[in-house]
Amino acid sequence: MADTLRFQSNTVDRPGEHQVSVNLNPGGLLTESDLSDNSASIKFVVGSSAFKELRPHAGLNYSGSEFVLLNPTRRPNSSASSVYLDLDTTNTFSSVQHFVTTLGMVVTKFDVGALQVNKRYFWRAGFSGGTMSQGTFLTSSSAAVEWDLRDSIEWSRNVFENTVYERSMGGHLSSSFKNVRIISSGFLDGSFGSVEIDGKNVLTSTFGRRGITVVVVDSIDLSVKDIRSFDTFASTQNAVNLSLYLQGLPTLTLVAMLVIDEAALNLNADARSAIKLWGSSYIDSLDFRDSWALFGKKGNAVPLKEAFVRSTYGKAIIDTALLVKESRGNISSTLIGPASKWISLMNERAVPIGASLGATVLGITSTGIEDTLILSSQDSLIDLSQFSATKYPFVRLVWEFLRDAIGASPMLRNAVLTVLPPAELAVNYQSVLLDADSVLEGTPVNISVDVFNPTKRQIDSVTVTLTDAAHGMVPIDTKTVASINSESAGKFKFTFGTAGKSGANTILVSVDPLQKIQEINEANNVYSLAFFVRRDTVRPSLDITFDGQRIIDGDYVSTTPNIVAMIYDNSPLPMTNPANAVVSIDGRRIALSGSTPDSAFIPGNGQVKAEIHLHSLLANGEHELSIQVQDASGNSADTTAKVVRFRVEGNSQLFNVLNFPNPFSANTVFTFHLSGSRIPDDLRIRIYTVAGRAIQELHVLSSTLHLGFNAIGWDGRDREGSEIANGVYFYKIFYAMDGKTVDAIQKLAKIK
C-alpha cells in the first residue's frame, strides 16, 4: 500500500537554495524492521526576478558616482534589454532623477554623477512595465565604508527597551507614566492593603502588616527602596518606632503609607506629627479601624494623593499616575553585515557624571550563534580589527544606558561602524549555459559556468560544485580556480554523462558551496539547470558477413568461415556488455565472453557499437546462424532474432553454374557457387565455338573468388578483342584443387 502527502512552501521573497527534508515515524512509535529508509531530502532553487544593489552596499554608506545592480538570477519574462533607475531624496519620488542603460552581463551599471553628501536616497529599478526593485542608502563624504545612525530611518530599525530616539537629541532613556494604586481597608472593611506600581503589587503579603505600612519608592523611576510595617495597634513603642523612622527619611522622599486592619489605638501625637511631614490632612481624624492611605513627598504642604474612609464605610483607595524616568535601558541595532573585515566602532555620546553608556558588540556566526566580542565598553572608540569577519560575518550592537542619581540620561547621538565590504560572486541565467536543453540518452551535456566577481577586489580560491538533483542529490563534479580578478569572470567547464538519466533532469550549480567566502548576497550563488534526456527508441541493425562477404540463404561457406556481425546503432551509449547479444549456431548458444578462441565480443565506437566474431569448424550440410542483439537502451534489433541459413561442403565443387543474361547481346555474367574448405588458387573460364575451337579464356584471380556465390563478367569479345558473332557457344569453368580438376560446362547464345 502507498499514499501521497502534498506540501506547499511559500517562496515569496526567499530566493536561493532551499532543502526540504521528510522524516517518517520520527518518534519511533511504529515498530519497523528497517529505519534506514525513513528519511529523504531534496534541494531546490528559487530564482529571483529582482535587481539587488551591489554598490552602494545594502545598509552601508556610499560615496561615488557609479550605481551597480546585480541582475535577476532567473530569465525575465520579457525580452527587454533596457534597465531603468530612479533616484530621489524622498520615498515619494516627487523630485526623481531618471537614468536608463542597457542590461549588462550579470551586473548593470549606471553613472549617476555627483550625489548630495550626507543625504538619504531612495532608489527603484527594473525593466519597463515590470515590477520595480527598490531600496535606500546614505551618502557620505568619507571614502571609508561605514554603517551609522545618522538619520531617523536607520534609528527606526533598532530595538528600543526603556529607551527612545529623538531627532534633536539621539537615543536616551525614556520617560513614561506609571500607575500607582494604593488600597487600605480597616478590620471591618476587609483588613487588606496593597500598593500596586505599574500593575504589580509590591506587598507580596499582608500577613503581619497590621498597623501602618510605609513603602519608600524612588521618585525618578518608582522602584521600591524600602518597605516597613509598624503594628501601632499592639503597642505604643511601635508608634515611637514609626515616628523615628519617618523623621529619619530625607526631605522629598516619596512614600506610600496605608492602614491595614487597625492602626489608631496607640498612634500617638508624635507619630501623627511625623506623618504630617508628608502634608497629611486626615491623619488626626484617624480612629479605631478606619481606612487611610497617603502618597506623597516629604516636605510638601499637601500630599500627591490622600484617602480616608470611616470604619464600615469601605476601603480608602488612591489611583494616580506619575511621569517617571527609566533608570536603565538599552538600544539594539539591526543585524549588520556581512563584512570582510571589522575595523572600528565610534560612539558619539554625552554621558553625565554618575551615568554610564556601555557598548556591547555581539559577533554572529553564519549559523546564527551569538558570541560576545566586546562587553559594555565605556570607550568612545572601540577597535574591532582583532575579530575575524570570516568567523563572525555579522555583528549586532547593543548600547546599555544607566541614568545618574537625579535621573539624567546618557545620550547616544550617533554610532559609526567602519568595515571593509564583503566580496561578491554571482551567477545567473546569463552566465550558466547548456549546449543543448534536449539530448539523446548517452550524449554528454556540456555545461559552461562563468562566475562573476563584480567587486573592486580579487577573490581567491573560488569553488563551483555541480549536483544531480533529479537522482538523489548526487555530486557530479567540483572545480576550483586560484582566483578571480576584480570585475572579471572565472570560467568553469563541466561535462555531465546522460547514460541512465532519461527523462527530466535538474542540475544544481553551487558557487562557494561551503560558504567560505563572505558575500553581500548568497542567493545568487546557486542556479538550477533543467534539461531533458530523450530515451533512444531506434532499433540497432546488424550486418553479417562470412569471410568478408554478405550471403543469402542457402549460400555455401567454408568449413571454417570467419563470421563477423557488425552492430550499428544511432545511440551514443556504448555497447560493452556481451550479454546484449544472444548468438547460436544450429540452436547451440555461443558464449561471447572472450574466453574461447572461436568467439569474441568487441566493443566499438561511433556508429559501429560492437562486433561479434565467430570462427569454428563446421560439418558438411545445412546450418543456421541466429543473432539477437539489444542496444544499450534495451532496444532489440528486431522482434525476433536475425537468422541466416547456409551450407557447408568440405569437398571443393562447383554448383549452380549459369550465365545471365542468356542469350545476351553485348555482355553477360558467369555465376556459380564454390564449395570446399578453401578458395582455389586459380580459376579459368574458357569459351568455345560449337566446333570446339577456344575463342576466349578468362583468368580469375583467387583474390576475387569467394566460397559460395561468385559472379564474373565478360564483355562478349574474343582474344583479339572483336565481338563474337551471333550463335551458340560453350563455356567451361574449371580449376585445380589438391591434384584434381573440378569443372562444369554450359551453353550460351549471342543474339544481336
A 10 A CB-CB count for 607 gives 12
Note the pLDDT of residue 689. 96
CA distances for 91 relative to 13, 52, 120, 134, 135, angstroms: 21, 18, 10, 10, 10
> Can you read off the three cell numbers belonging to residue 515?
560558504
Which of the four pLDDT bands, split at 50, 70 and 90, describes residue 306?
A: very high
What domains lie within the chain, and their CATH numbers?
52-143 (2.60.40.10), 152-174+327-420 (2.60.120.260), 175-325 (no CATH), 432-532 (2.60.40.10), 541-648 (2.60.40.10), 653-750 (2.60.40.4070)
SS3 content of the chain, % helix, strand, coil (to 5): 5, 50, 45
Which one-letter DSSP state was computed for residue 580? G
Question: What torsion do the CA atoms of 620, 624, 625, 629 make, to the nearest 10 degrees?
Answer: -170
Which one-letter DSSP state was computed for residue 236? H
A 10 A CB-CB count for 439 gives 21
- The Cα 191–Cα 210 span in angstroms is 8
Average pLDDT over residues 396-415: 96
For 676-689, b where at least 16 C-beta lie within 10 A, e where not — what string? bbebbeebebbbbe
Average pLDDT over residues 132-160: 92
C-alpha triplet 41, 42, 46: angle, nearest 5°: 140
Specify the 3-state DSSP secondary structure of 88: strand
- The Cα 394–Cα 60 span in angstroms is 13
- The Cα 313–Cα 184 span in angstroms is 12
Which of the four pLDDT bands, split at 50, 70 and 90, describes residue 525?
A: very high
Which of the four pLDDT bands, split at 50, 70 and 90, describes residue 686?
A: very high
Which of the four pLDDT bands, split at 50, 70 and 90, describes residue 478?
A: very high
The per-residue DSSP string of 708-735 comes to EEEEEEE-SB-TTSPBPPSEEEEEEEEE
Residue 81 gets the label, from left (phi > 0), alpha (psi -120 to 50) or beta, of alpha
Does the pLDDT value for residue 14 go beyond 60? no
Average pLDDT over residues 577-598: 84
Note the pLDDT of residue 495. 96
Backbone φ and ψ of 669, nearest 5°: -125, 125
Which of the four pLDDT bands, split at 50, 70 and 90, describes residue 206?
A: confident
Task: Please enumerate in sequence order all residues whose Cβ is within 8 A of that of 648, keeping only pairs 6 or more positions apart, or say none.
Answer: 556, 557, 558, 559, 618, 619, 620, 621, 623, 675
> Can you read off the three cell numbers belonging to residue 20?
526540504
- The Cα 723–Cα 714 span in angstroms is 11
Does the pLDDT value for residue 688 go beyond 70? yes
A 10 A CB-CB count for 475 gives 10
Task: Outline where DSSP puts E strands in 103-140.
Answer: 107-111, 120-127, 133-138
Does the pLDDT value for residue 13 go beyond 70? no
Backbone φ and ψ of 140, nearest 5°: -145, 155
Average pLDDT over residues 647-652: 90
Does the pLDDT value for residue 675 go beyond 70? yes
| Mean predicted lDDT score pLDDT of the chain | 91
Which of the four pLDDT bands, split at 50, 70 and 90, describes residue 712?
A: very high
Dihedral (CA of 135, 140, 145, 147) sign: negative
pLDDT in tens, 619-637: 999 999 999 999 888 888 8
Note the pLDDT of residue 76. 85
Residue 469 gets the label, from left (phi > 0), alpha (psi -120 to 50) or beta, of alpha
Does the pLDDT value for residue 15 go beyond 80? no
Which of the four pLDDT bands, split at 50, 70 and 90, describes residue 276?
A: very high
**Structural contact between residues 391 and 378, judged by C-beta atoms closer than 8 angstroms:** no
Give 718's Cβ-side CA count (13 Å radius). Answer: 13
Backbone φ and ψ of 245, nearest 5°: -65, -45
**Structural contact between residues 287 and 281, judged by C-beta atoms closer than 8 angstroms:** no
Question: What torsion do the CA atoms of 406, 410, 411, 412 make, to the nearest 10 degrees?
Answer: -160
Percent of the chain scored above 70 by pLDDT?
93
Which of the four pLDDT bands, split at 50, 70 and 90, describes residue 607?
A: confident
Strands 438-440 and 526-534: parallel
- Strand pairing partners for 320? 180
- The Cα 66–Cα 69 span in angstroms is 10
Note the pLDDT of residue 203. 95
Does the pLDDT value for residue 26 go beyond 80? no
Note the pLDDT of residue 39. 62
Where would I find the H helices in 614-700?
none
Which of the four pLDDT bands, split at 50, 70 and 90, describes residue 596?
A: low
A 10 A CB-CB count for 673 gives 19
> Can you read off the three cell numbers belonging to residue 506?
535538474
Strands 555-557 and 642-648: parallel
HEC assignment per residue over 42-77: EEEEECCCCCEEEECCCCCCECCCEEEEECCCCCCC
